[in-house]
Amino acid sequence: MLSKQDNELMCRVGPGTGMGDVMRRFWLPALQSADLPQPGGDPKGVELLGERFVAYRDASGRVGLYAEACLHRGSSMRLARAEPDGLRCIYHGWKFAVDGQVLDTPNVADPKFKQRIRGRTFPVREAGGLIWTYLGPAQQQPEFPRWPWMDLPDAHRINAVAVENCNYVQVIEGLVDSSHLTVLHASGLAKTNGSDMDFAKKTSHMQFDAAPFIEAEETDFGFHYVAIRPAGERRMARVASFIAPCFVANPNGDLWFAVVPVNDERCNFYHVWWNAEKPIGEEPMRTQQLAFVGLDPETLAAYGMSAETCDGPAAQRWENGYGQDRALQRAGHFTGLASFTQEDAACSISSGALRDRSSEMLSTADMAISRLYRALLGCVRQLKESGDLQSLHADTARIAGVSAEIDRDQDWRVLVPHHKIAAARTTGATAA
């Protein structure tokens, strides 16, 4: 439960907001590399943290992220002409390279003028199938983070994104909430029986225990938490990590998420699967994985969860019953929704575009949820008080999600030896 004031502070990310300032200190995914397939192709509109930008890949393959408004008189660079070395505004023909260099200002006679000014572009890096940007103050720009999957060849990785029409915190809540899996995803988990997919093998056991033992702890990067379920004589421990401000390492160990706010009431939910041994990014493995969780293009379009369809009639909303198929449900499916992604989204979106947390009733099973609120609000406070954020300094390459069997009296923390745990902030309980 949060006061209205704290809820606003945690959820709103526009320019000048507390959480917006926090977000703007991190490198964030702005879009997927696949969204700008061609050198010199069409520029693309991108909304991020409530601001609008235009992304463009020049003829040499470099990506630029431009503020939407032209430097000169503010017409949209989304209408600009894509030329080999930069974007040219169609209004007066000013041309900008991806790094902000001003290449041409046809209506200014002075040849030195263009050397004195600089276009409004933002730092961009391309890694792991994602195009990342940093929107914060230039003098505070942090080092570009390395994640374990970034150095693998494209064939060993699957990238996918779903657009959800709700505040980003609601989506992250679902990612640090082990106890809903057994219930909401009952039908999906049932399909894991006998499946050969790694994903299926790693999640199958969750069908049978809706009240795992849960423990959460503050770490330098945010927090990690464990859900422990009995496994015969031993115990199955699933550890998930939340990395501020909006990243999650899933316990499966090969799945990473970023939940990036598009604006206060919409977010991009990025998924990365990776496997150093197997080329999972190749067919048929890629489509098999995506279809299993409802991230294949057809299912995303059917629920209005792609950039092209998220404003359309299919987008999950009150008016269309969130896309639920009651006939399918009567026929035995638990939810009547296509798969994991649509089930999670229906719960996130149906609680409101920016849900009110002043009247919820959290239980011990929601320990990681309250920990999430504390971690996010802690970031806002930390930045205000110290001008810095602890999680900016965490070594992202060593942050893990883990799922493994442990002995009855073994400490689950042996699974995450590299995590720096904050002192005396541990909380734990068994969900009733």
Put the strands of the sheet holding 63-67 in their side by side order.
Answer: 44-48, 51-57, 63-67, 121-122
User: Does 81 sit near other proteins (CB under 8 A)?
Assistant: yes
User: Does 93 sit near other proteins (CB under 8 A)?
Assistant: yes
**Stretch of 71-79, 140-148, 277-285, 295-303 contacting other proteins, by CB under 8 A:** 71-79
Nearer to other proteins, 72 or 413 (CB): 72
**Stretch of 77-85, 159-167, 268-276, 368-376 contacting other proteins, by CB under 8 A:** 77-85
User: Does 74 sit near other proteins (CB under 8 A)?
Assistant: yes
Nearer to other proteins, 298 or 311 (CB): 311
* CA-CA-CA-CA dihedral for 245, 251, 256, 261, to nearest 10: -40
**DSSP bridge partners of 428:** 215
User: Does 15 sit near other proteins (CB under 8 A)?
Assistant: no
Sole binder of other proteins in the list 4, 15, 34, 42 (CB under 8 A):
42
Nearer to other proteins, 108 or 127 (CB): 108
User: Does 72 sit near other proteins (CB under 8 A)?
Assistant: yes
**Stretch of 11-19, 28-36, 99-107, 281-289 contacting other proteins, by CB under 8 A:** 99-107
| CA–CA gap between residue 93 and residue 350 (Å, rounded) | 46
Q: How far is the CB of 309 from other proteins (least distance, A)?
A: 12
User: Does 76 sit near other proteins (CB under 8 A)?
Assistant: yes
Site size toward other proteins (CB under 8 A) is 25
- Using CB under 8 A as the binding rule, the residues of this chain from 225 to 284 that contact other proteins are none
- Using CB under 8 A as the binding rule, the residues of this chain from 295 to 354 that contact other proteins are 311
User: Does 59 sit near other proteins (CB under 8 A)?
Assistant: no
| CA–CA gap between residue 214 and residue 412 (Å, rounded) | 11
Q: Which residues contact 27 (CB under 8 A, 6 or more apart)?
A: 125, 132, 133, 134, 142, 144, 145
Q: Which residues contact 101 (CB under 8 A, 6 or more apart)?
A: 86, 118, 119
Q: How far is the CB of 92 from other proteins (least distance, A)?
A: 5
User: Does 82 sit near other proteins (CB under 8 A)?
Assistant: yes
| CA–CA gap between residue 221 and residue 390 (Å, rounded) | 7
> In terms of C-beta density within 10 A (0-12 exposed, 13-18 middle, 19 or more buried), how is residue 356 classed?
exposed
Q: How many helices (H) and strands (E) does the chain have?
A: 12, 20
Q: How far is the CB of 305 from other proteins (least distance, A)?
A: 18
**Stretch of 75-83, 121-129, 179-187, 418-426 contacting other proteins, by CB under 8 A:** 75-83
| DSSP category for residue 215 | E
Q: Which residues contact 25 (CB under 8 A, 6 or more apart)?
A: 136, 140, 142, 383, 389, 392
Q: How far is the CB of 89 from other proteins (least distance, A)?
A: 8
Nearer to other proteins, 108 or 197 (CB): 108
User: Does 97 sit near other proteins (CB under 8 A)?
Assistant: no
Sole binder of other proteins in the list 39, 50, 92, 413 (CB under 8 A):
92
User: Does 50 sit near other proteins (CB under 8 A)?
Assistant: no
User: Does 44 sit near other proteins (CB under 8 A)?
Assistant: no
* CA-CA-CA-CA dihedral for 147, 149, 151, 153, to nearest 10: -160
The token pair at 179 is: 């106890």
Half-sphere CA count of 97, side-chain side, radius 13 A = 12
Radius of gyration of the chain (CA): 22
Q: How far is the CB of 310 from other proteins (least distance, A)?
A: 12
- Using CB under 8 A as the binding rule, the residues of this chain from 111 to 150 that contact other proteins are 113, 117
| CA–CA gap between residue 256 and residue 248 (Å, rounded) | 6
- Using CB under 8 A as the binding rule, the residues of this chain from 150 to 209 that contact other proteins are none
Residues 64 and 58: beta-carbon distance below 8 Å = yes
The tokens 């849960």 sit on which residue?
Answer: 214
User: Does 71 sit near other proteins (CB under 8 A)?
Assistant: yes
| DSSP category for residue 126 | E
**Stretch of 73-81, 239-247, 258-266, 274-282 contacting other proteins, by CB under 8 A:** 73-81
Sole binder of other proteins in the list 9, 59, 69, 231 (CB under 8 A):
69
The contact set with other proteins (CB under 8 A) reads: 42, 45, 69, 71-76, 78-79, 81-82, 90-93, 105-109, 113, 117, 311
